[in-house]
A = this chain, B = another copy of it.
């Protein structure tokens, strides 16, 4: 069990009446409990809160008149991940996957698994099935990409990244997700907070569906998966933007922060192999 404090502060210059849709609150799942949270707006505004889909994504919607808007989210989150020995985590067969999981095999905006299926199959198709195959995909992504801020933009896809070989966390996740789908492993994008991320920011990572449940992976290898707090999941980053705007507003400040409040440190690894961690 780990306790993590998270915080995001956003400041916008709102130029015309604008609808904001925020996805910055920690999700509530069986393994991730929100002990305490607070969303404050300056000026004070009425906030609608939604839960969308089956995965616990929380959205906040506000309508803002022209002003300087300050949004702060703070939370204290308890993670109680299931941790398994990765060597025992196999792949699920297409004939057994729950129907709501199947959608995560489909190609999506930034994860063109149809285009990359042959590539994926060629590189990873002959490997032993199981957790280690997803690990191999993440290793490949980590080895073949250079992490370069500013090297990609909001229209960069997994296929682009596979060719240009640079990107940021979101691109690493997109490529790994796409390669998983390419060999028949359902995979999805997770937006979240990450303890120890340098420089601090929202983080993008992924989950793969193995042995009947979703396991966490971070192809950037920048932080341990045990310090990842989930905000939302989706097919790719298109589904979990931290803010979606209808109107006209300029982001002028963003501070994001996550801290291991009880300093528990990462869970001990079982037997040398990386642990298989599930928060879903």
Contact = CB atoms under 8 A, between A and B. Distances in A.
Contacts of A107: 109, 238
Contacts of A108: 108-109, 235, 238
Task: Tell me the dominant secondary structure on chain A's binding face.
Answer: mixed
A31 to B, nearest CB: 23
Contacts of A50: 99
Interface in A156-172: 159, 162-166
A118 B100 CA distance: 34
A61 B95 contact: yes
Nearest to A52: B99
A155 B102 CA distance: 20
A61 to B, nearest CB: 7
Contacts of A246: 94, 184
Interface in A101-119: 102-103, 105-109, 111-112, 114-116, 118-119
A221 interface: no
Interface of A: 19, 21, 50-53, 59, 61, 63, 93-95, 99-100, 102-103, 105-109, 111-112, 114-116, 118-119, 122, 144, 154-155, 159, 162-166, 184, 235, 238-239, 244, 246
